[in-house]
């Protein structure tokens, strides 16, 4: 099946086959990451603009590096240095980028739906690098890629997502990806941060950590933001940690081969014990590495590449 999607806006709109294609392509690209020459010519001559209107370290670096590994020219713009601070609208900024003949735009924005909005305005591919509390599709793709590396098929696997689900785009993208891949997802955390509406997504909502973690194959932690305290979503970080923080005792409830994941940035000692974050079961840094491969795959495919040529582009099967 050929890849024919130009934009990557959400995981919700992806089919299972498309997720598989991205993962297969990422697998091919991952092989070049450990080489001494880490560059392939797949996107030579293409210009990719990273429009990051909200702070980001990992995602921005990974998109930047992914584009460079594919030999694209990359320009990164962030909110504090762009004309949006002078009141320029997103529409005008994006149309200017297109007028400079950019071939693709990667956008991170605090307002949910902004990538959809841009995709309706521009005739170049738009890649969502995180929009508000809506979706962060490449994160969901890299997380499920990582899970598949460790667990194989995710069908029937028990995945617990723990923390601030309400405001999390990472949670939403993972929920969509995992339910499509057949995993049994449980969302857990305080009732104020894990509202019952999520059951509509085909997942289980729980406020009981023990039953949620029992025999789970994966626990994915989400960052607890300090400002949720002042907005009354929970009494204190201390209470959060005592009720929902992942520590050694609680990690023992997991399945013996379970992996521990976190999209970062981590609040050590709040949502997770520092030792666990660095421990054997933690795949947190693998997630970061896989993030590079997945973003290479997404850039490559949305620029018009086909999954079956990715291996050749990654320098394999040269005859």
Q: In angstroms, what is the minimal distance from the CB of 209 to another protein?
A: 22
Task: Give the contacts of 152 (CB within 8 A, at least 6 positions apart).
Answer: none
290 contacts 146 by C-beta, under 8 angstroms: yes
- Look at residues 270, 254, 263 and name the one whose alpha carbon lies nearest to residue 284: 263
d(CA 224, CA 163): 6
How is residue 59 written in tokens?
A: 């995602």
Of 30-38, 95-103, 114-122, 140-148: span binding another protein (CB under 8 A): 114-122
Tokens 């990974």 belong to 62
The answer to whether the peptide bond before residue 265 is cis (omega within 30 degrees of 0) is yes
Q: In angstroms, what is the minimal distance from the CB of 116 to another protein?
A: 6
- Look at residues 52, 170, 41 and name the one whose alpha carbon lies nearest to residue 106: 52
Task: Indicate which single residue of 24, 75, 90, 288 sits in contact with another protein (rule: CB under 8 A).
Answer: 90
Task: Indicate which single residue of 26, 49, 67, 133 sits in contact with another protein (rule: CB under 8 A).
Answer: 133
Of 65-73, 84-92, 218-226, 237-245: span binding another protein (CB under 8 A): 84-92
Based on CB atoms, which residue is closest to another protein, 114 or 139? 114
Q: In angstroms, what is the minimal distance from the CB of 265 to another protein?
A: 20
Of 89-97, 209-217, 221-229, 288-296: span binding another protein (CB under 8 A): 89-97
45 contacts 70 by C-beta, under 8 angstroms: no
Based on CB atoms, which residue is closest to another protein, 141 or 175? 175
HSE-up of 153 (CA within 13 Å, CB side)? 4
Task: Indicate which single residue of 197, 249, 256, 280 sits in contact with another protein (rule: CB under 8 A).
Answer: 197
82 binds another protein (CB under 8 A): no
218 contacts 151 by C-beta, under 8 angstroms: yes
* Interface of this chain with another protein, residues 142 to 181, rule: CB under 8 A: 166, 169, 172
User: How many of the chain's residues bind another protein (CB under 8 A)?
Assistant: 25
225 binds another protein (CB under 8 A): no
294 contacts 142 by C-beta, under 8 angstroms: yes
Task: Indicate which single residue of 109, 180, 228, 295 sits in contact with another protein (rule: CB under 8 A).
Answer: 109
Task: Indicate which single residue of 71, 82, 116, 229 sits in contact with another protein (rule: CB under 8 A).
Answer: 116
189 contacts 220 by C-beta, under 8 angstroms: no
**How far is residue 319 from each of residues 34, 43, 81, measured CA to CA in Å?**
22, 22, 47
Task: Indicate which single residue of 114, 186, 282, 287 sits in contact with another protein (rule: CB under 8 A).
Answer: 114
d(CA 294, CA 272): 26
Of 71-79, 150-158, 192-200, 304-312: span binding another protein (CB under 8 A): 192-200
- Look at residues 293, 299, 132, 150 and name the one whose alpha carbon lies nearest to residue 219: 150
Interface residue list for another protein (CB under 8 A) = 12, 89-91, 109-114, 116-117, 131-135, 166, 169, 172, 195, 197-198, 200-201
């Amino acid at each position: 099946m050929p890849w024919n999607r130009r934009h990557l806006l959400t995981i919700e709109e992806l089919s299972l086959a498309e997720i598989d294609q991205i993962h297969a392509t990422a697998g091919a690209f991952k092989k070049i990451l450990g080489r001494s020459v880490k560059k392939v010519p797949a996107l030579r001559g293409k210009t990719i603009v990273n429009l990051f209107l909200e702070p980001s370290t990992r995602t921005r670096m990974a998109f930047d590096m992914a584009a460079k590994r594919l030999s694209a020219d990359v320009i990164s713009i962030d909110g504090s240095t762009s004309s949006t601070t002078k009141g320029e609208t997103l529409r005008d900024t994006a149309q200017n980028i297109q007028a400079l003949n950019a071939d693709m735009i990667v956008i991170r924005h605090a307002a949910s739906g902004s990538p959809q909005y841009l995709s309706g305005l521009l005739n170049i591919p738009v890649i969502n690098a995180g929009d508000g509390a809506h979706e962060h599709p490449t994160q969901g793709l890299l997380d499920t890629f990582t899970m598949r590396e460790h667990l194989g098929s995710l069908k029937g696997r028990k995945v617990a997502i723990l923390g601030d689900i309400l405001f999390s785009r990472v949670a939403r993208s993972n929920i969509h990806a995992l339910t499509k891949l057949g995993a049994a997802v449980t969302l857990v955390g305080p009732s104020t941060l894990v509202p019952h509406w999520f059951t509509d997504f085909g997942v289980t909502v729980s406020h009981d950590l023990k039953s949620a973690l029992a025999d789970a194959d994966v626990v994915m932690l989400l960052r607890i933001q300090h400002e949720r305290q002042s907005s009354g979503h929970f009494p204190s970080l201390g209470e959060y940690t005592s009720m929902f923080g992942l520590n050694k005792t609680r990690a023992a409830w997991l399945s013996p081969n379970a992996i521990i994941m976190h999209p970062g940035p981590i609040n050590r000692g709040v949502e997770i014990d520092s030792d666990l974050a660095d421990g054997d079961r933690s795949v947190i840094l693998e997630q970061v590495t896989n993030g590079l491969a997945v973003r290479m795959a997404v850039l490559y495919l949305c620029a018009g590449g086909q999954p079956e040529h990715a291996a050749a582009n990654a320098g394999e099967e040269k005859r």
